[in-house]
Structure formats: C-alpha cells, structure tokens
Amino acid sequence: MRISTNSTFLQGSYGVSIQQSLMSQLNVQLSTLKRVNTPSDDPVAAARILDVSQSDARNSQFITNTKTADSALEFSSTALSQMAELVTQAKELAVQAGNGSTSDQNLQQMQTVFQKKLEEMVAIANTTDANGKYLFAGTNADTPAYSMVGNTIEYRGNDGQKSLAISDTRQIAISEPGSTIFGNGNNVANPADDDSFFGIMVRFNNLLTAGKNATFGGPPPRTYDQELTAVMAGMDQGLQSVVTAEASVGSRQLEAQNAGNLGEDLSLVYAKTRSNLEDLDVPKAASDLAMAQMALQASQLSFSKVQGMSLFNYI
C-alpha cells in the first residue's frame, strides 16, 4: 500500500499535537491542583461540581440567615426578659398600693417610682437590633414601635413579622410585632377602661396619682379597690403575654441555632464531595506529566525524521 508524503506528515503532526495538548492539561492541573478545570476535562464530574457548588452557596446563605436570626432573637429575648422583670416590679408596687395602711402620700411616692418604670417599659418596647431596626415595630422597623406623650402611649408599628429562610423548607419569624404582646397602646376613646398591656400600666399610673378617694372609668365608675383589682388582673395577663412571647422567641432561637449547626455540617459534606470530584492526585499527575514529556520528545523526534525523509535517501 502506498502512503503519501502528506498523510505521513499529518499523522506525525497529529501525534505531536496530542502530546502537547496532554502536557498543557497536566500543567494546568498541577498549577491549580484541580483535576477538573473546564467541563471538557470531565463533563460528568463538571456537571456534578456545578450542582454541588450551587447547593453549597445556597446552604451558606442559610447559615448566614441562621446567624442573623439568632442575633435578632437574642435581642428580643433579652428585651422581653427585662420587660418581664419590670412588670413583676409593677405588680409588687400594686400589692403595696392595696395595703390598707398606704396613704395617698405613699401613693404619690410610688407613682414617682412607677413613672420611671413605665418609661423604661416604653424604652424596652422600642429596643433596636444590631442594625438599629426596631424589634417590636413589625415590618415598620425604621420607626419606633411606641410613642409616649404625657400619659398617652400609642403603637406606631404594624402587625407584620420579619422572617428569614433557614433551609429550603423552613422560614422563621425573627421579630415580634409589639401589638401582639403589648397591645396597640392606649384606647384613646376611653383610656380609663383600656385593658391592653400599656393601657393597664397607664391606668395604674393614674390610680397612684388620683389616690384612694377617686373613682375610675365606667359607667358605673369603679372605686379605688375595684380599679386596683382590675389593674392587678391586667398585670397578670400582661406578664403572661410577655412570658409567652419570650418562650416563643427562645424556641425559634434554638431552632435557628440547630439549623445553623446542621448547615455547618452540610457545608463540610459539600466540601468533601467537591474535593473528591475535582481535587488532583498530585503524584499521579506528576508521573503522567513526566511520561507525557517523554512521549512528546519521542513524537517530535519521529516527526522530524519523517520530515527529513526523501526518496533520494534510498537512491
């Protein structure tokens, strides 16, 4: 069979090109320490690496969200704990106010003390998170949740809750609308009968100011003792509302922490999977490179001899 000079040249050139391409690929792999640098290196592995990387990126966002949620809920938990303590102190003052030996002068002194506690309660209801957002204002977090002008306390937030995704299937609320815990503030139409959280606190403040001979609300109007009884019952309900909210916050905070821990574990799994798919076996690659260099030299030598061959060599 006759083989043309052109065919011989192409075969030799192709052999050299193949070895050069292999060496180039091995050099890239050794410089990056990765077996798969382009989809053509291993199409199946490259597709799997892309899938794992996307899942890992999504998981990383969930981990970030769990940390954000944990921080926000920690602020809420601390604020609610402080609020519960203030309500407990208010209840102690109410018990003292019910003592038969307590005079109106004593009540005035107690009112001075309670006024400061009431202002502290409003300040706690206006607690902000690490980003300066009001925790209890619902989704209207750029505005203080409550305003206090004189003896009037009003809610300025809304009933919404901010939430974050902590997994593909779970979102958790990271804020508490103050309206569900502390109420909407004073019943402006008839504040003397307001039984919301802050409404009760304002009524107690008014009771301490007015003294034992005053009447309250109605009709029919309530006596001092009747009003104090209603206020104490309202304080019990208010404390229960705060404690219930604190328990809910604590439960969600624990869930966020657990989800974060699970996400960290999953991140390690993704890293291991990606490593198995793309990391280079360096000793093997170095050996392959050495062999490729020898093969290239042999191909180049063979090609150069073929190029120099001529019929005149045999005449």
Residue 311 has pLDDT above 50, yes or no: no
pLDDT, mean of residues 125-145: 94
| Alpha-carbon dihedral 166, 168, 169, 175, rounded to 10 degrees | 30
Q: For tokens 């940390």, what's the residue?
A: 67
Q: What is the pLDDT of residue 36?
A: 84
Look at residue 43 and tell me whether its pLDDT is greater than 60: yes
Q: 79: closest CA among 142, 135, 147?
A: 135
Could you tell me if 66 and 256 are in contact, meaning their C-beta atoms sit under 8 angstroms apart?
yes
pLDDT of 312 reads 46
Question: What are the pLDDT digits (tens) for 68-83?
Answer: 999 999 999 999 999 9
Q: Distance (Å, rounded) from C-alpha 112 to C-alpha 116?
A: 7
For all residues of the chain together, what is the average pLDDT?
86
Asked if pLDDT for residue 22 goes beyond 80, the answer is no
Pick the CATH number of 68-272 from 1.20.1330.10, 3.30.360.10, 1.10.260.40, 3.40.50.2300: 1.20.1330.10
How much is the average pLDDT of 268-280?
Answer: 90
Structure confidence at residue 40 as a pLDDT band (50, 70, 90):
confident
DSSP readout, 211-277?
Answer: -TT--BSSSSPBPHHHHHHHHHHHHHHHHHHHHHHHHHHHHHHHHHHHHHHHHHHHHHHHHHHHHHH
Give per-residue pLDDT as tens, 137-178: 999 999 999 999 988 899 999 999 999 999 999 999 999 999
- DSSP letter at 63 equals H
DSSP string, 288-315: HHHHHHHHHHHHHHHHHHHHH--GGGG-
Q: Flag whether pLDDT at 233 surpasses 90.
A: yes
For strands 171-173 and 152-155, give the pairing.
Answer: unpaired
